Amino acid sequence: MFKSAIEEAGFTGAITPFVSAMPGLDPLKDREVSPVEPNVTVQFIGKDPLALRYCLERIREIGHVTADLNCGCPFPMVRNKGRGSGLLRTPDVLERMVETGCEVMGPGNFSVKARLGVERNDELLSLMPMLNRYPLRFLTVHPRTAKAMYEGPCDEAAFARIREVAGMPLIYNGPGGNMVGRPFIRSLGERADIMELLSRYIDASRAELYGERPVLGRIKELLAYWRELPRWSRRWNLIKISRSLAELKLALT
């Protein structure tokens, strides 16, 4: 039977990088959201319930049945505007976003991804009674505060306190958790067929993005995950100074 790329990689599902839900933006334009792939959930970031409603209705039109809300993005420029992890600081807005999501997608089809808090590790905990009132598909917790960004130990104790009170399925996103991000990307660098995959990814990126620069940027960002692997460490010195795809290809040989 045909296996989706996600199943082939050993996952039961995947969530897209966030797509902006802002007034006047159409998620189907500029190929922000692709037609449905099995088990792919579209994630939105924003703070405007009406804009979120419009985006969710649009993705439903092309067959998506699940969606996710980003309450995790830690970057100050995002969170200080009340988006991403900033939603944890505006409970009324968060509630209207969650209410809208559950209403448009239907019970059990809308999920939330969150940090423990912006500065404190109990901010999400204090929002749990509100979140428990909605029929969420699941809640994913990246057990760090936004201030901690992406490094340092995950706060297991704070996660355990959320687990005690959560009424919805809970997903732990961090080392040893049941959702992974960076460790999976790192592991790709060790695949036997990685050169072929990489070449296909470069071709697909050239077809998708405009010009060499963004393609080069995207590929270098990926390759940076592998720079400590024995297979890649020597190549990395050349990769990082490549200024064109031709130079990059040479560095890869």
Ligand X SMILES: Cc1cc2nc3c(=O)[nH]c(=O)nc-3n(C[C@H](O)[C@H](O)[C@H](O)COP(=O)(O)O)c2cc1C
Whose Cβ is closer to ligand X: residue 150's or residue 210's? 150
**Distance of alpha carbon 204 from the chain centroid:** 20
- Shortest reach from residue 23's CB to ligand X, in Å: 20
User: Is the CB of 9 or the CB of 250 nearer to ligand X?
Assistant: 9
Min dist CB 247 to ligand X, Å, is 24
Structure-block tokens of residue 5? 């790329």
- Distance, in Å, from the CA atom of 153 to the CA atom of 140, rounded to the nearest integer, reads 17
Which H or E element spans position 231? helix 230-241
In the complex, the smallest distance separating the C-beta of residue 224 from ligand X, rounded to whole angstroms, is 10
The span from the first CA to the last CA of the chain, in angstroms, equals: 35
Q: Considering beta carbons, is residue 79 or 113 the nearer one to ligand X?
A: 113
Total length of the chain = 253
CB of 188 to ligand X, least distance (A): 13
Question: Helix 123-131 and helix 91-105: axis angle, to 10°?
Answer: 40
The residues of the shown chain that bind ligand X, judged by CB under 6 A, are 17-18, 43, 70, 72, 113, 142, 150, 173-174, 180-183
> Other CB atoms closer than 10 Å to residue 200's CB: what's the count?
11
- What is the closest distance, in whole angstroms, from the C-beta atom of residue 69 to ligand X in the complex? 9
Q: What is the dihedral of CA 149, 150, 152, 155, to 10 degrees?
A: 80
For the bound state, the minimum distance from the C-beta of residue 240 to ligand X, rounded and expressed in Å, comes to: 17
Instruction: Give the number of other Cβ atoms within 10 Å of residue 65's Cβ.
Output: 11
Taking the C-alpha atoms of 218, 223, 224 and 229 in order, what is their torsion angle to the nearest 10 degrees? Answer: 170
Q: CB 85 → ligand X: shortest distance, Å?
A: 10
70 or 121: whose CB is closer to ligand X?
A: 70
Query: Which single residue brings its beta carbon nearest to ligand X?
Result: 181
Beta strands in the chain (DSSP E): 14-15, 19-20, 40-45, 67-71, 110-117, 139-145, 170-172
